A and B are shown apart, each in its own frame.
Chain A
Amino acid sequence: MNSLVGAFSVLAIASVLALSGRWLGISTDSCRVTNPQSAPFLGGSTPDTHAWSRFHIRYYAVALLFVAFEMEMMFMYPWAVVFVEEGIKALVEMGMFLAILSLGILYAWKEGAFRWQ
């Protein structure tokens, strides 16, 4: 019984504190966002269309670079272990592999993926 009273007391005190905090916030609110403040700042202009629009974020350039460099590393570690045993054959295979990946890197470069902005 005592524990039930204690639980209700805690609930009542918490409710009073929460509600009084909420009331204090509403009654002293000087930061209500007005309609002009909720509009984006465009230097005095307003947008002609709603901001809810879909555009191409162009993740593919980043994804292409990730795959190119990641695959290089994935293949180079085991290749380095067997390189001495396999000799020139391993070198040629790695050359072909890097040449193919380089095409992807060159394409990403052309698309501006390396531009510093």
Chain B
Amino acid sequence: MAVSLLSRLAASTTVPVFAVTGGGGCPLVSSLRTDPRARLVASPRHAAVLVIAGTLPPRLVGPVQSIHDQMPHPRFTALAGTQEDPTNWGKAVVADSSDPIQSVVDGFRALVAGRHASEPDWLPDSPPAEWRGVGPFGQGGEGMMGGKPFGRPMAEMAPDRDGLMLDALNVGVGPFHPALPPGLELRLELHGDVVADVGLQPNPYLELGKPAEKSYALFEQAQREAVPIARVETLRAAHLLGTIASAVEVAGLESLGRRLRTRAADPSGGDQRGLSRLRRALIAGVRWSARGVVRLPAEELQGSGLGPTARASGVEEDARLDDAGYLRLGFAPITRSSGDCLDRLLQMLDEAEQALELASKAGTGSTSGNVVEGVHGVPGSGSSPALLSLIEEHVPGLEWSDAVSFIASLGVDLQDIALAERRVVE
């Protein structure tokens, strides 16, 4: 009786979900963030359901298996919007394409009620190497420095920023770390909380055979033919608001993130005062952590085609200045001066507001059909590969919290970068 009551109470809660994003999975993960039936958690330890959204490139399968095995029991996996063969994923449930979140909720209730068995591990339950039991602490070597406990070598000494010789910790973070964009995997050398060196792993979404994300299709179309400015600018506003939402969620401001995503789902639905309230909440929420962090100089970004990132540093470059349709509307690019993390986020908010204004003024007006400014700069594209080189260049020397704020403020989307790189190859 009591157990049944407890099961019913447990089943009535919001579903703790850890989501991994494959090709084409971004919209579902975004809706998981706003749907009251589910709660996206930051670590598999707090999750009961692993949602695999979209099709995973082969290189991401191993990390997903590792994340799955880190979830506590009872647990289950849901595949949504994927071309994966479900039999490769044990007893994973294929979510209903019409309402995948309801499938997740139903699966969670069945799991808690005991109608669905908890999934076993997908990887062997053994350490990378055996414990050797040699040395004063059983670490496998002499003193504190030798040996490879459980197959992992002890940290090597390296000079830190104070001139002391201390241990450098080498770790990989990602590709599904909640503080980083999906798919981004960093190899870090850490001195305490300071990033001494960073290396980026290859973009895993390049392994997907065909374009997975169609959200920028309108920008692609605008390269070839005239399209209504109102549609382009509404889409731009939605994407920019979504990018800001991702950045504030990394800062722990989930409520503000939900408000931004709700507005992004219907950018033209609210009024100007709604955007002003979002601006005040954004400034109040991130000014302490984002102001003054990684000021990108304007001269470094001249001609980079990095859109709002460059304009936040004062670079007046925008492909819309070459479009007669936009010039008729009196378009002039907005710029900022300091180019720090706070400025980059405010720049995106300013440009979302400007995009909505242009959309309302444009009426039936169209673009000229040659080129159109993408959401993050590169014409006809989302994110640019050049954003990744900014990470490699500016993250060394930062504390981890600043590094995370910086990467979030760039609006990196590896799926869009894969699309852009594939287009260059073609």
Contacts and interface: CB of A to CB of B under 8 A. Distances in A.
A42 B72 contact: no
Contact of A56 (B62, B123, B162): B162
Q: Which of B20, B66, B127, B399 has the most CB of A within 10 A?
A: B66
Interface string B236-250: 000000000000000
A22 interface: no
B191 A45 contact: no
Nearest to A36: B69
Contacts of A52: 139, 144, 149, 154-155
B172 A48 contact: yes
Contacts of A43: 63, 67, 173-178, 180, 185
Contacts of A3: none
B197 interface: no
A44 B60 contact: yes
Interface in A17-46: 30-31, 34-37, 39, 41-46
Contacts of A39: 66, 70
A36 B164 contact: no
A47 B175 contact: no
A63 B60 CA distance: 45
A55 B166 contact: yes
A46 B63 CA distance: 9
Interface residues of B, number: 56
B43 A41 contact: yes
Given A31-B73, A50-B155, A56 B164 contact: yes
Interface residues of A, number: 27
A50 B154 contact: yes
A34 to B, nearest CB: 5
Contacts of A89: none
Interface in A71-108: none
Contacts, number: 127
Contacts of B144: 52
B153 interface: yes
Contact of B69 (A37, A42, A49, A55): A37
A10 to B, nearest CB: 31
A117 B125 contact: no
A36 B155 contact: no
A49 B401 contact: no
A4 interface: no
Contact of B192 (A31, A44, A57, A116): A57
A39 B124 CA distance: 13
Contacts of A36: 66, 69-70, 121, 123, 125
Contact of B152 (A41, A44, A49, A55): A49
Interface string B124-139: 0111100000000001
B167 A116 contact: no
A57 B121 CA distance: 37
B170 interface: yes
Given A36-B123, A42-B173, A43-B173, A50 B152 contact: yes
A110 interface: no
Given A41-B45, A49-B170, A56 B177 contact: no
B310 to A, nearest CB: 27
Contact of B160 (A37, A46, A51, A56): A56
Q: Which of B149, B155, B162, B168 has the most CB of A within 10 A?
A: B155
B171 interface: yes
A49 B72 contact: no
A46 to B, nearest CB: 7
Given A43-B176, A45-B171, A117-B401, A54 B166 contact: yes
Given A34-B125, A56-B160, A44 B288 contact: no
A58 B66 contact: no
B80 interface: no
B67 to A, nearest CB: 5
16 contacts: A35-B126, A36-B70, A37-B72, A39-B70, A41-B44, A41-B45, A42-B174, A43-B180, A44-B63, A47-B171, A55-B160, A55-B169, A56-B162, A56-B164, A58-B192, A117-B399
Given A43-B67, A47-B169, A55-B160, 5 more contacts: A30-B73, A47-B170, A50-B148, A52-B155, A56-B166
Nearest 9 pairs between A and B by C-beta? A44-B63, A43-B177, A45-B172, A53-B167, A53-B155, A36-B69, A55-B192, A48-B170, A50-B152
